[in-house]
Amino acid sequence: MWEELENSIKDCTKCKLCEGRHNIVFGEGNKEADIMFIGEGPGADEDAQGLPFVGKAGQLMNKAFQGLGIKREEVYIANIVKCRPPNNRVPEDDEAEACLEYLRNQVMLVKPKIIVLLGSTALKNILGKEYGITSARGKWIEKKEIYYMPTWHPAALLRDEAKKIDFWKDLKEVVKKYNELNVK
């Protein structure tokens, strides 16, 4: 199934983002992870390397993982869109919609217990446009036996250091929930 999914996306032309990409950023990590992280889309570093969260925001996320005892290779990391939007702009609705089938299939294959939604784009595209990141962040939302934790996107922390405290608290809640779910 994974191979089929990866092959189905490698020559994707469903939206205009394909025109400027160097690499499709499919996702990476443990394909049977209990925790999945979903971001917005690849930046320049991700587009160059074909891997999610390898730029400054990813490095910040890696530091948080280290501090919490999370191994990056134990989680699965993906994005709403698989190609870099020009100038790192927010993906347009039609671009996100074109990629959501790929992401839904990734979620179905991984079968995570917890999904961390990194930022507004991930939140709105996964749980619905009625959600706002400011009001939803830090609150568990359970749907279809998956626990969702909306939090700030690591790139937002680079622009506003004060958000690091909330991000840290939210990830601590993720570890706590993970431990609760795996004790049973």
Sequence-separated (6 or more) residues with CB below 8 Å from residue 177: 114, 140, 147, 149
Mean pLDDT of 92-108: 97
Q: For residue 145, what are the β-bridge partners? A: none
**106-127 exposure pattern, b = at least 16 Cβ within 10 A, e = fewer:** bbeebebbbbbbbbbbbbbbbb
**Residue 17, domain extent:** 2-183
Please report the pLDDT score of residue 184 as a whole number: 56
Specify the CATH number for the domain of residue 97: 3.40.470.10
Mean pLDDT of 169-177: 97
Mean pLDDT of 119-135: 97
Q: What is the DSSP letter of 75?
A: S
Please report the pLDDT score of residue 125 as a whole number: 97
Mean pLDDT of 96-119: 97
pLDDT value at 165 more than 80: yes
**23-61 exposure pattern, b = at least 16 Cβ within 10 A, e = fewer:** bbbbbbbbeebbbbbbbbbbbebbbeebbbbbbebbebb
Identify the helix (H) or strand (E) that includes residue 141. Answer: strand 141-143
Number of domains in the chain: 1
Handedness of CA 166, 139, 127, 2 (dihedral sign): positive
Mean pLDDT of 137-156: 97
In degrees and rounded to multiples of 5, residue 118 shows phi and psi of -90, 95
Mean pLDDT of the chain: 96
DSSP, residue by residue, 4-44: HHHHHHTT--SSGGGGG-SS----EE-TT-SEEEEES---H
pLDDT in tens, 145-154: 999 999 999 9
Please report the pLDDT score of residue 182 as a whole number: 86
Residue 175, classed as helix, strand or coil, is helix
Q: For residue 122, what are the β-bridge partners? A: none
DSSP, residue by residue, 83-107: SPPGGGPPPPHHHHHHHHHHHHHHH
* β-strands 76-79, 28-29 pairing: antiparallel
